[in-house]
Amino acid sequence: MAEKGHPLISLTRVTKAYGSNEARIFALRGIDLTIDSGEFISVMGPSGSGKSTCMNILGCLDTPTSGQYTFGGVEVSHMSRKQLATLRRFYLGFVFQGFNLLNRTTAMENVELPLVYRGIPPKERKALARKALEQVGLAGREAHTPGELSGGQQQRVAIARAIATTPSVLFADEPTGNLDMARSHEIMELLKQLNREQKITVVMITHESDMAAYSDRIVYFVDGQVADIENGHAPAVKGGQDR
Amino acid sequence: MIWNTFILALRGIRRNVMRSVLTILGIIIGVAAVITLVTIGNGTTAQVTEQIAAMGTNVLLISPGQRHGPGAASTAPSFSVKDVQAIEEHITDLAGVAPSVSVSAVAVVGNQNWSTTISGTTNDFFAVRNWTMKAGRTFSENEINSGRTVCVVGDTIRENLFGDGDLVGQKLRLGKVSCQIIGLLEAKGNSSMGRDQDDCVIMPMKAVQRRFSGNKEIPFIQVAVKSDASTTTASAAIQSLLRKRRHLSDNEEDNFRIMDTKELASMLTSTTKTMTALLGAVAAVSLLVGGIGIMNIMLVSVTERTREIGIRLAIGAYEHEVLLQFLVESVVLSSFGGIFGIILALAASFGASKMLAIPFVPDLSIIIIAFFFSAAVGVVFGYFPALKAARMDPINALRHE
């Protein structure tokens, strides 16, 4: 989708406000950010700094109050609901902080869901879903419903659902928030691998610098603004030999 | 695409078994109640109509007593044999005139006894009342004139006192009177008033007057008018004849009553129709309650459904796909409940009509109305919360509490 010469994603003076008049609160106070195709970016910052809000806007789940958001050189704020849905369907993957899995639905069916909307035939769909579950280490749990899975397992189902479609951009809101160290690193290796091999652009919110260390760039959010962009790598504990 | 949506809808139904069952249950109860009650009501009406037809719609029932005012019957004189003869002689277009004297008595055979009603009458009675003989014969001229104690019995008497054996020629004791059975009537079933018509013993009128009532009064005359003649004309002719014979001056009211079975038929039919309407109204309430049940269940699950819709939108579902899915879900649930309700109603009303011995008369229009009402409730309350949710921004739908 990205044309040559354009960054994949570009935010210009993007704001997001909640409430009205005196009670108006700005969650984003003018964000400028560009992300190139194939990048692996971490977003860090204290709670309430607007990371998630920004991510929702990037993921086309929410609309900015003002400013421009272009995706692949196309202005997103002018898009119809249907166009936005198409964008989500074919180009974006999203791992939610709260997982947002369908209750009483098996892990398999949850992972299959975006593939169903893409119109992929059942046989292929099942194969892709099974592969994604294997990749997150949930082989054998296909028939379990979210209620029968631990928080960590639910998180991995959510990751599997997002990567099953091999999106252009994967947005992940604290994808390792509920996982132990070993499992967190496994997931990060997986994201890194997808980023490298399938050229999936990854944008990830994290609180852990360990995890941020896997990324190419770290964007720091403070009080609804981008405070700092760190190229290269944060204090690296592990990995970081990619460039 | 459509198939996909259908699969998603079926998955949705399967995931929410409890909600689905409750919705279906609401529809089943609503649909089944309405259809069952109306079908039973219709059956009752049909039965009444049928019985009146069996009784003959061209029959006039003549009894002493005023049309209005309580106690009038006791002071008004009964009819006499001469009245009956006068009707036979002077009124044209009559198919039969049957005087009738009824008394209660206990019929005894061996060690069995049965309390029944004896009607003393003539052979015209069988024609007027549409009775056919199953076995034996009617009265002979001689038996009528001399008042022999012979009788023709109804099927209930046979069933209770004789069983399956042949009873023609056997003896039956009625009170203190011994009586020979000469015939058996074909079974007719219950009358529109709920009385067992087969529970009867028919004897020559003179025998009843002499051995049971002890006087020559005739308290009841039934007249059959020829089928091509007007009952109204015959009724008026009989009225003026009887007024003359009973010496009533012009300013006096009738001290007898002539009832046309047509009149009776319309009266009874209107009664049963009112009853059907009443049953229908009660059933409509249950349909409404069922609808409110469905509505509640659907509204309670709005939060969950809103979140679900948010998830679907977030991972790339189009608004119309989500809506179609929920619509299909509602339609499948509602139709399933409706069809099940119809089947249940037909089974229940069929069973009830067998038990109440009334005809089974399902009414297609009621079935359709009940089905579509419940289906509409299910679809409207299943679909509109979904419509609202599908129009939200995905993030707001996801955050919905």
B310, B361: one domain: yes
Question: What is the number of alpha carbons within 13 Å of residue B388 lying toward its C-beta?
Answer: 12
Nearest to B316 among A56, A102, A117 (CB): A117
> Smallest Cα–Cα separation from B40: which of B344, B363, B369, B349?
B349
Band of residue A239 on the pLDDT scale cut at 50, 70, 90: very low
CA dist B268 and B45 (Å) reads: 8
Q: Which of A59, A90, A117 has the CB atom closest to B317's CB atom?
A: A117
- The mean of the pLDDT values for chain B is 85
Tokens of A137: 């280490």
Position A241 in a domain: no
Residue ranges making up the domain that contains A62: 9-231
Residues of B in contact with A61 (CB under 8 A): 314, 393-395, 398
| More confident site: B375 or A10 | A10
The answer as to whether B61 is a domain residue is no
Q: Is A232 a residue whose pLDDT tops 70?
A: no
- Check whether residue B100 and residue B227 sit in a common domain: yes
Q: What is the pLDDT of residues B385-399, one digit of tens each?
A: 788 888 888 888 888
Q: In this predicted structure, which of A185-194, A203-212, B70-79 has the lowest mean pLDDT?
A: B70-79
The mean pLDDT value for B152-179 works out to 87
Q: Are residues B271 and B186 in the same domain?
A: no
Closest Cβ opposite residue B11 in set A88, A109, A119: A109
Lowest-confidence pick of A54-58, B17-21, B33-37: B17-21
What residues contact residue B219 under an 8 Å CB cut-off, 6+ apart?
Answer: B63, B64, B78, B79, B100, B101, B102
Side chain identity at residue B280, one-letter code: G
Are B236 and B320 in a shared domain?
Answer: no
> CA-CA distance, B339 to B349, in Å (whole number)?
15
- Judge if B180 and B240 occupy the same domain: yes
Q: Which of A16, A86, A116 to mutate to test the interface with B (most CBs of B within 10 A)?
A: A116
Q: Examine the pLDDT at B46 and tell me if it is beyond 80.
A: yes
Q: Are residues B83 and B231 in the same domain?
A: yes
Q: How far is CA B389 from CA A77, B306, B308, B326, B393, in A?
A: 21, 5, 9, 11, 9
Angle separating helix axes B319-355 and A81-91, nearest 10 degrees: 100
Return d(Cα B325, Cα B331) in angstroms, integer. 10
Out of B182, B211, B245, pick the residue that ends a domain.
B245
- pLDDT over 60 at A119, yes or no: yes
Contact B399/A at CB under 8 A: no
Give the CATH number of the domain where residue A131 resides. 3.40.50.300
Are B360 and B273 found together in one domain? yes
Domain boundary among B214, B245, B276: B245
pLDDT of residue A235: 44
Q: Is residue B262 part of a domain?
A: no
Asked if residue B97 lies in contact with residue B223, where contact means CB atoms within 8 angstroms, the answer is: yes
Asked whether residue A2 is assigned to any structural domain, the reply reads no
pLDDT tens-place string over residues B180-193:
999 999 888 776 56
B263 in contact with chain A, both atoms CB, cutoff 8 A: no
Mean of the per-residue pLDDT values for chain A? Answer: 88
Contact flag B314-A116 (C-beta cutoff 8 Å): no
How close, in Å, is residue A190 to chain B by CA atoms?
21
pLDDT in tens, A27-85: 999 999 999 999 999 999 999 899 999 999 999 999 899 999 999 989 998 899 999 99
Q: Nearest residue of B to residue A165 by CA position? A: B315
Say whether both B291 and B145 belong to one domain.
Answer: no
Pair (B216, B317) in one structural domain: no
Residues within 8 A of A (CB atoms), B 80-139 only = none
Task: Give rounded-to-5 percent helix, strand, coil for chain A.
Answer: 35, 25, 40
- Specify if B181 maps to a domain: yes
Interface check for B394 against chain A (CB to CB < 8 A): the answer is yes
Query: B271 lies in a domain?
Result: yes
Can you give the pLDDT at residue B379? 82
Provide the domain count of chain A: 1
Percent above pLDDT 90 for chain A:
71
Task: Give the residue, B179 or A233, on which the prediction is more confident.
Answer: B179
Residue B289 lies in a domain: yes
Query: Is a pLDDT exceeding 90 seen at residue A200?
Result: yes
Asked if the structure places residue B351 within a domain, the reply is yes
Residue B164 lies in a domain: yes
Enumerate residues 6+ apart whose C-beta is below 8 A from B20. B13, B14, B333
Q: Which of B245, B280, B299 is the last residue of a domain?
A: B245
pLDDT in tens, A170-199: 999 999 888 889 989 988 999 999 999 999
Which is higher by pLDDT, B347 or A233?
A: B347
Q: Looking at the structure, do residues B100 and B14 belong to the same domain, yes or no? A: no
- How close A192 gets to chain B, by Cα (Å)? 22
Give residue B157's domain range. 78-245
The per-residue pLDDT for range B213-228, each reduced to its tens digit, is 888 889 889 898 887 8
**Residue A171, CA distances (Å) to A51, A130, A203 in order:** 12, 21, 5
Based on the fold, state whether residues B87 and B34 are members of the same structural domain.
no
* Residue B70: per-residue pLDDT: 55
Judged against a pLDDT cut of 50, whether residue A141 lies above it is answered with yes
For chains A and B, CB pairs below 8 A equal 70
Position A240 confidence tier, pLDDT thresholds 50, 70, 90: very low
Is residue A1 domain-resident? no
In a domain, A177, yes or no: yes
pLDDT at residue B296 greater than cutoff 90: no
Hey, is the C-beta of B377 within 8 angstroms of any chain A C-beta? no
Inside any domain, residue B118:
yes
Q: Label residues A134-149 b or e (16+ Cβ within 10 Å = b).
A: ebbbbeebbebbbeeb
Number of separate domains in chain B? 2
Shared domain for B120 and B235, answered yes or no, is: yes
Cβ neighbors of A135 (< 8 A, separation 6 or more) are A160, A163, A190
Give the best-scoring range by mean pLDDT among A205-214, B47-56, B249-258, B369-378: A205-214
- Residues of A within 8 A of B306 (CB-CB) are none
Q: What's the pTM value of the predicted model, to 2 decimals?
A: 0.69
**Residue B389 structure tokens:** 């949710």
